[in-house]
């Protein structure tokens, strides 16, 4: 079974540009989460999808961030326009909606975003 | 609100020595607690979890953790460190809306 995958692994962009991060969850996982770790700080929750619906986006920092999950499969997180403080590692995680494993979130390798 | 605090951002042990990584939690409801590990250039991997039942939880790679309600702790231990254990370790508690709330992380160094 393939794990959670994220693309790209690294992205370096200039302030003011747009970047789109992609996450492919484990097949069959209805829950999808985005997290971010800014340098030296805790990993922070951004938002949670159940299938294609946003269940909770209370962690999104501002309206420069837009997450989508069309069709309830992969998700994208777009930052437009990027600012210096957006630099960090963006993690995606998924979990099944039901079953014993629903308590576990399976994480992807992360996308390291650097805004210069 | 649920939260965790990891004591010590860096821990260094000798190979073969006991590993003890500390985590204290705060929760108004019975907590679901987790330990994750991140090896260099990799994603977060679940080491173990506590939801209900037995308070001593065994995980992968010889790690275990004990849920102690009286001490609001969930410390991670391994009897004998191996060089391959060098990584960053994260304690987490599940939030009210299924989000994970992480500690700041503890970087473990294993000396030969």
For the purposes of burial, counting CB atoms within 10 Å of the CB of A50, is it exposed (0-12), middle (13-18) or buried (19 or more)?
A: middle
Q: Does the pLDDT of residue A1 top 70, yes or no?
A: no
d(CA B98, CA A62): 21
Q: What is the pLDDT of residue B40?
A: 86
Task: With a cut of 90, say whether residue B20 has pLDDT above it.
Answer: yes
Q: Which residues contact B9 (CB under 8 A, 6 or more apart)?
A: B104, B105, B106, B107
Give A98's contacts (C-beta < 8 A, 6+ positions apart).
Answer: none
Q: What is the pLDDT of residues A12-51, one digit of tens each?
A: 999 999 999 999 999 999 999 999 999 878 999 999 999 9
Decide if B100 and A93 are in contact by the 8 Å CB cutoff.
Answer: yes
Asked if A58 is an interface residue toward chain B (Cβ–Cβ < 8 A), one would say yes
CA B56, chain centre distance (Å):
13
8 Å CB contact between A76 and A67? yes
Give the residue from B5, B39, B43 with the most A CB atoms within 10 Å of its CB, the best one to mutate: B43
CB-CB under 8 Å, A42 with B103: yes
The pLDDT, as a whole number, for residue A39 is 85
Q: What is the pLDDT of residues A94-110, one digit of tens each?
A: 998 877 677 789 999 99
What are A57-91's pLDDT values in tens digits? 999 999 999 999 988 899 999 999 999 999 999 99
Pairing status of strand A75-79 against strand A19-24: antiparallel
Asked if B49 reaches chain A (Cβ–Cβ under 8 Å), the answer is yes
The residue whose two tokens read 């060098």 is B86
The reply to whether residue A33 touches residue B103, judged by beta carbons under 8 angstroms, is no
CA distances from A113 to A22, A65, B6, B71 (A): 12, 14, 26, 38
Asked if B100 and A55 come within 8 Å (Cβ–Cβ), the reply is no
In this structure, what are the phi and psi dihedrals at residue A60, rounded to the nearest 5 degrees? -65, 130
The alpha-carbon gap from B33 to the nearest alpha carbon of chain A, in Å, equals: 10
Of A4, A48, A109, the CB nearest to B98: A48
């Amino acid at each position: 079974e393939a794990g959670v995958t994220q693309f790209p692994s690294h992205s370096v962009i200039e302030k003011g540009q747009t970047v789109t991060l992609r996450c492919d969850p484990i097949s069959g996982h209805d829950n999808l989460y985005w997290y971010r770790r800014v340098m030296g700080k805790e990993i922070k929750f951004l938002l949670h999808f159940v299938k294609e619906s946003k269940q909770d986006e209370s962690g999104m920092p501002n309206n420069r961030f837009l997450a989508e999950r069309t069709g309830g499969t992969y998700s994208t997180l777009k930052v437009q326009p990027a600012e210096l403080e957006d630099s960090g590692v963006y993690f995606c995680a998924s979990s099944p909606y039901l079953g014993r494993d629903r308590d576990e979130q399976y994480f992807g390798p992360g996308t390291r975003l650097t805004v210069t | 609100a649920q939260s965790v605090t990891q004591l010590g951002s860096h821990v260094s042990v000798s190979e073969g020595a006991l590993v003890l990584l500390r985590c204290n939690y705060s929760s108004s409801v019975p907590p679901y607690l987790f330990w994750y590990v991140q090896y260099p250039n990799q994603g977060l991997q679940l080491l173990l979890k506590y939801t209900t039942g037995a308070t001593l939880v065994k995980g992968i790679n010889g790690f275990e953790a004990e849920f102690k309600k009286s001490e609001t702790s969930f410390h991670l231990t391994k009897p004998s460190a191996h060089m391959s254990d060098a990584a960053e370790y994260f304690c987490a508690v599940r939030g009210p809306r299924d989000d994970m709330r992480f500690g700041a992380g503890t970087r473990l160094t294993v000396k030969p």
